[in-house]
Amino acid sequence: MRALEHAAIGHGLVGPRGALRSQPMILTLKRPLVFLDFETTGLDTKNDRIVELAFVRLLPDGRRESLVRPVNPGIALSKGATKVTGIHSADACGLFGDGGKKPAQPLRKLGAELVEFLADSDLAGFNQINYDVPLWLNECKRHGIPFELGRRHQVDVKVLFNVCETTWDRFLMGPRNLGAAVRHYCGRELEGAHSAEADTQATIDVLLAQLARHPQLPRDVPGLSEFCSRNSEKNRDEDPAAAPRAGGATA
């Protein structure tokens, strides 16, 4: 899978199929913001493994650069993870990779490329504070990948969703997952749900739409990071179906 670049044209973004995304760049960035999403072998951030990852780097001028890689986890996928992602253990540990042309690589062999892509960027995602980032840090420790969270800011779009939509009725509208966020803020269905890149691109669209809808939200990453940290205890949903899926963003 190759890296894809999404070029900004005016207030729109051109996606991989040439469709114009009319999302205004109303977020002030002093350095890149990398949105991340993982498909995994299960839900345990300490013991489960990544089988597909997507890093999408949002640049200050609105351009997006994507790095998408399949990963050989070295262990079997749970039945639940296979049901959600459509990836079987034989695929993940065998020829799941570049269209079946070559095997997926273990994470340790991808480490240098991933760390270089992340550089000194801040991080964002949908439920990444509680799921994706802890999982990533444990995978880095397991595979000897020299990544440090350090003083990076984190923007969790799920926290913003939970805090801002105070009238959300989960019995009528369902759990506040990524699919619901895309419908609510972007007025469309989430296409390619449980594909790491599709989920990550959709998360960026949701964040920009949240900023457009809620003027009270900070327009800079440090401000959003502080807001998310202050409200991180609200990053939950009473519905058991909304528990973190095998892949991070409950879609």
> What are the backbone angles phi and psi of residue 142, rounded to the nearest 5°?
-65, -40
- What does the pLDDT read at residue 136? 98
Q: What values do phi and psi take at 38, rounded to 5?
A: -130, 140
Q: Residue 243 — very low, low, confident or very high, per pLDDT cuts 50/70/90?
A: very low
Instruction: Give the residues across from 12 on adjacent strands.
Output: 9
Task: List the domain boundaries for the chain.
Answer: 5-242
**Residue 160 neighbours by CB distance under 10 Å:** 25
Give the pLDDT of residue 250. 52
To which CATH superfamily is domain 5-242 assigned? Answer: Ribonuclease H-like superfamily/Ribonuclease H (3.30.420.10)
Could you tell me the sign of the dihedral formed by the alpha carbons of 128, 132, 138, 142, in that order? negative
Residue 130's identity, in one-letter code, is N
Q: What is the pLDDT of residue 30?
A: 94
Angle CA 113–84–138, to nearest 5: 40
- List, for residues 36-70, the tens digit of each pLDDT value: 999 888 889 999 999 999 999 999 999 999 999 98
Query: Stretch 151-180: mean pLDDT, rounded?
Result: 94
Task: Give residue 84's pLDDT.
Answer: 57
Task: Determine how many CB atoms are found less than 10 A away from the CB of residue 137.
Answer: 15
With cut-offs at 50, 70 and 90, classify the pLDDT of residue 242: very low
How far is 207 from 28, CA to CA, in rounded Å? 13
Identify which of 199, 217, 187, 192 has the alpha carbon closest to the alpha carbon of residue 23: 187
Task: Count, in order, helices (H) and strands (E) of the chain.
Answer: 9, 10
pLDDT single digits (tens) 61-103: 999 999 999 899 887 666 665 655 556 555 555 544 555 556 7
Rounded to 5 degrees, φ, ψ at 225 are -65, -45
When pLDDT is averaged across residues 144-171 and rounded to a whole number, the result is 95
Non-local (6+) Cβ contacts of 165 within 8 A are: 176, 184
Q: What is the pLDDT of residues 176-234, one digit of tens each?
A: 999 999 999 999 999 876 688 999 999 999 999 999 999 999 999 999 999 999 998 75
Measured in degrees and rounded to the nearest 5, phi and psi for residue 21 equal -105, 115
